[in-house]
Amino acid sequence: MDNENKEFNQDFAEQAPRAEALKEAEEAEEARVRAAEERGEGAEAAAEMEAEESVMRDVRIVSPTALVLKRFFRSRLSLIGLAMFVVLFIFVFVGPLFVGWGETEVDYSGGEVNIQRTDVTFVGPDGEEYTIVQVNLSQTQINRLAGVFSHGVNAEGETVLHILGTDSNGMDVFTRLMYGGRVSLTISFMAVILNTLLGIVMGGLAGYFGKWVDMLIMRIVDVINCVPTLPIMLIFSAILDEYAKTYAWMYEYRLYIIMGLLTLISWTGTARLVRGQILFLREQEYMVAADALGMSSSRKIFRHLVINVMPQLIVSMTLSLGSMILYEATLGYLGLGVPIPRASWGNMISTAEDLTILQYHGNVWVPSGICIIASVLAFNFIGDGLRDALDPKMKR
């Protein structure tokens, strides 16, 4: 028994170093595998980091203005409206530099030859009845109602083309179309800017202060909205005509005075828009911070609140331009606009009241109607494009 124990102990002693060596080898292999795995994971992590950095280098941060412009120019109608506006602007403000006629210049080169036949009947000495045909030829000094692409002589003695002919006063229609566009567009822009400024002030005060200030301003808005616009302008124009007998300048600047009156009664829509937006914005966190900093009321209204309403105001102004052009054309057609011989698109259309011009001389009044339609469509297209581009809910 003792011999067997001795042999077992001897065998265990001989195998123990080999087991320890095997264990050390296994541990070394495991360490090598772990190191390899760690090296592989590090390489993958480095590769991922490098890929993310390359993506970040390719990504550009787009500003809000660039995003709005991108959305605006993506719309075809917006581009069409913008192109129409640019063409009209160049035509109206640059075109008169390249024509040979003035706004009120009359073509005295002579108009059409009028042939008048008169039959004269008498009894001769022989008792027979005779008829003599008498022909009278006459030519007007003023070249009235000339056809398209006809020619005339201007004040400098040069023979110049009448692209759209002449009107009943012998003035070049194409030239008057340009100058009339200046009046229509300039007055419309001025009226829109003035009523927007007035609407911002009144709407800003009503929305920010609230209480009795809001109540007073909104009741004024309700009263103005009840006023019929066109009858009031007709009545006011009749009053101006009476005063113009004493003060001649009132007749000359009648359209500007009437458009000023229109401005005073057309700011209500802008005021309501600004008031509604400010009622929402004044409760935001940045306004609480402005109160904590002790900013003045005027600074908070015009520096923080109104600035955030500007996108809606820009859209409203753009759409209002079309309405103002139509108002000016209506006043001109009713004889309440720019006095002749000065031109506006409205008083050029009013020449169609003459049935002869309406039926046979469409070149006198049709172009001004086309310009009015084109300008209104251009501003409406631009306004629709801006409204979609400034909408934060738009994803495309």
DSSP 192-216: HHHHHHHHHHHHHHHHHH-HHHHHH
Task: Classify strands 150-153 and 159-162 as parallel, antiparallel or unpaired.
Answer: antiparallel
> Measuring CA to CA, how many Å separate 58 from each of 47, 55, 68?
17, 5, 21
pLDDT of 1 higher than 80: no
The tens digit of pLDDT for each residue in 38-78 reads: 555 545 545 555 555 555 555 566 676 777 778 888 888 88
Q: What is the pLDDT of residue 356?
A: 85
Cβ-proximal residues to 1 (8 Å cutoff; 6+ apart), any chain: none
List all residues 6 or more positions away from 136 whose beta carbon is below 8 Å from its beta carbon. Answer: 115, 116, 117, 118
Q: Can you give the pLDDT at residue 101?
A: 87
Q: Rounded CA gap, 46 and 124, in Å?
A: 126
Phi, then psi, of 159 in degrees rounded to 5: -85, 115
What pLDDT does 312 receive? 80
Helix (H), strand (E) at residue 115: strand 113-123
Among 216-230, 285-299, 373-387, which stretch is predicted with the lowest mean pLDDT? 285-299
Query: Tens digit of pLDDT for each residue in 121-152?
Result: 767 677 777 777 766 655 567 888 888 888 88
Predicted confidence at residue 276, as pLDDT, reads 85
Write down the CATH superfamily of domain 65-99+172-389: MetI-like (1.10.3720.10)
Residues of the chain with pLDDT > 90, as a percent, come to: 8
* pLDDT at position 2: 47
Average pLDDT over residues 216-232: 86
pLDDT band, very low/low/confident/very high, at 6 (cuts 50, 70, 90): very low
pLDDT, mean of residues 209-213: 84
CB 286, CB 304: distance < 8 Å: yes
Q: Does residue 22 or residue 74 have the better pLDDT?
A: 74
Domain ranges within the chain, ordered by starting residue: 1-59, 65-99+172-389, 113-162
pLDDT at 39: 53
Q: pTM for the whole thing?
A: 0.72
Residue-wise pLDDT tens digits, 331-363 = 888 777 777 788 888 888 888 888 888 888 889
Average pLDDT over residues 279-303: 76
Higher pLDDT, 269 or 58: 269
Look at residue 174 in the predicted model and tell me its pLDDT. 92
